[in-house]
Structure 1
Amino acid sequence: MTQDLNAHRLAARLFGIFFILAFVSYGAGSGMVASVADNALGLEGVFAGKTTLMIGVLLMAIVHSFVNIGLSVLAFPVLKTVSGYVARGYLAAGITATTTAVIGALFLALLVPLSEASIGGNVATESFDAIAFVLKQGGFYGYQMSMTLWGIGGLILCTALFFGRLVPRVLAVWGFVGYLVFMVGTTAEMFGYPIGVMLALPGGLFELSLSVWLIGKGFNIPVTAE
């Protein structure tokens, strides 16, 4: 039993660390990509900043994917003490959200070969610009859909945290409300209402607070849990 509790404490600390890494990797990666993809020079600027863009894509598609799926795997044995269905649901949501995010990142990565083709090409500039617009929109919708799926996973997680008393219930309620607000923002973004960043704040602060709590305190696993 002591060995199991120690394993859960280690999983909790790693979960908290991975949560922060997921936040930082995707935030840094998307910032680097946006600084290149949305530059004033268009594809010429993408060609000049392709190294920065590809590093950003790698952070979004590789590093973020590793830690994001790792979150779901680390949480699985703990959430299973509450419900096997909940544990599998959170794992499925994490994998689906991550896969969708990778697809969105790949759309943005395709801006690099497009920019290379546009340099000295015989095709009209307007055609390249139209393709670039479609790729950037693919990245945008991929991100919003992945975050909506992540919000669903967050609701599953917070439900388990609340009913399993794995963390203080006020923290679980905060997270549940934060993810609901977050999903309103991501859905609104897909319908053309730019309020996603503002509505992401409660959920983002919850994730950071939960990470700090788990690193310092761990999950409250009942002594009877197997």
Structure 2
Amino acid sequence: MPVANRAREGFLHGREPAESSRVNAVVAGVLLIVATVASLISGRFLAPVTDSSSLGDAAAQQGQVATGVLLVFIAALAAPGIAVALYPVLRRFGEGLSLGAVAFRVMEGVFYALGVMVLLSLSTLSGAFVDAGSPPDQHFTTLSQTMLAQYHWLVDVGLLFAFSLGGLLYYLVFYRSRLIPRWLSAWGIGGVMLLMIAAVLLIFGVITPLSPGQIVLAAPIGVQEMVLAVWLIVKGFDRSVLARQ
């Protein structure tokens, strides 16, 4: 069969050339690093809003909070981008699971954005509190505590579930297809299951956000995704598996 006809047939059947799959792997790996680093670093910048005991601290550290918000928006864009970058390759091995992974990671991005909008509102409330002379009025305190609770429900429960379900779906495709080593896929499946357990424990109040318990349960998937990112950038997908499709 002429080369042109083979290429045309591969295109009609949705078969990506090896070079294209390599690009998808590198993009997904880079986005994994960007999303993880941006999310972790943002926590330090957002501390005047999320961890402060004084409502006025956010107003005093507006530049720092703004940097944290920018980092969260970067994570919100990078997280869905991971599943989108993987989709053209993974759909050949499980289109339904791959599409579901995209949907849940888009939801993850939405939870990121909703959470940061709550923090921006809380920052505005902090400014109003300072402008009012930091009155000993419990209404400010009650409102700030309510908004902070909303943030934690969005990010520490909703976002964790969306991330975990999205990750679980594409790790299942990885495991079935052997596009990456099965030990790495199994590690991912186990890691997201532990993260879902953390979300359930948060709902029932067994652990608290950013407590040692949550960190221990989140650590395996955090490390795994960095290993996966390096693997995708350096090794890419198994070419022998791609060749059989």
Q: TM-score range by the shorter chain?
A: over 0.9
Map of 1:43-122 to 2, 5 A cutoff?
A: 43-60=55-72, 62-121=73-132
- Which residue of 2 is the match for residue 138 of structure 1? 150
Task: Select which of 218, 222, 226 maps to 2:242.
Answer: 222
Letter of the structure 2 residue corresponding to residue 133 of structure 1: Q
SS at match of 1:142: helix
Same amino acid, percent of matched pairs: 25
Tell me by how many angstroms 1:38 deviates. 1.8
With 145-154 and 30-39 compared, the bigger mean Cα shift is at 30-39
Structure 2 Cα separation of the partners of residues 189 and 51 of structure 1: 31
CA displacement 1:67-121 (0-9 Å, x = unmatched): 1121121011011111111121011011011101211111111112101111242
Task: Select which of 31, 53, 59 maps to 1:18.
Answer: 31
Structure 1 Cα separation of the partners of residues 77 and 131 of structure 2: 38
Provide the TM-score with structure 2 as the length reference: 0.86
Task: Select which of 166, 181, 198 maps to 1:153.
Answer: 166
Alignment check: 8 A CA contact 2:83 2:105 kept: yes
Tell me by how many angstroms 1:35 deviates. 4.2
Map of 1:170-189 to 2, 5 A cutoff?
A: 170-189=183-202
Please list every run of at least 4 consecutive aligned residues from structure 1 whose deviation after the TM superposition is greater than 3 angstroms. Answer: none
Stretches of structure 2 that go unaligned for 5 or more consecutive residues are 1-6, 8-14
Tell me by how many angstroms 1:124 deviates. 5.2
Check 1:37–1:178 CA distance in 2 against 1; reply closer, same or farther (3 A cut): closer
SS at match of 1:208: helix
Check 1:85–1:3 CA distance in 2 against 1; reply closer, same or farther (3 A cut): closer
Structure 1 Cα separation of the partners of residues 44 and 104 of structure 2: 24
- Which residue of 1 is the match for residue 139 of structure 2? 127
Structure 2 Cα separation of the partners of residues 215 and 167 of structure 1: 12
CA displacement 1:157-187 (0-9 Å, x = unmatched): 1100000111011111111011101111122
Structure 1 Cα separation of the partners of residues 44 and 202 of structure 2: 18
Task: Select which of 197, 200, 207 maps to 2:215.
Answer: 197
Tell me by how many angstroms 1:36 deviates. 4.1
Letter of the structure 2 residue corresponding to residue 217 of structure 1: K
CA displacement 1:13-57 (0-9 Å, x = unmatched): 1111110100001111122112443224x1211110122112211
Alignment check: 8 A CA contact 1:13 1:214 kept: yes
The alignment covers a number of residue pairs equal to 223
Tell me by how many angstroms 1:3 deviates. 6.8
Structure 2 Cα separation of the partners of residues 116 and 34 of structure 1: 16
Alignment check: 8 A CA contact 2:48 2:57 kept: no
Measured on the aligned residues, the alpha-carbon RMSD in Å equals: 1.7
Alignment check: 8 A CA contact 1:36 1:52 kept: no
Provide the TM-score with structure 1 as the length reference: 0.93
Structure 2 Cα separation of the partners of residues 167 and 176 of structure 1: 13
Stretches of structure 1 that go unaligned for 5 or more consecutive residues are none
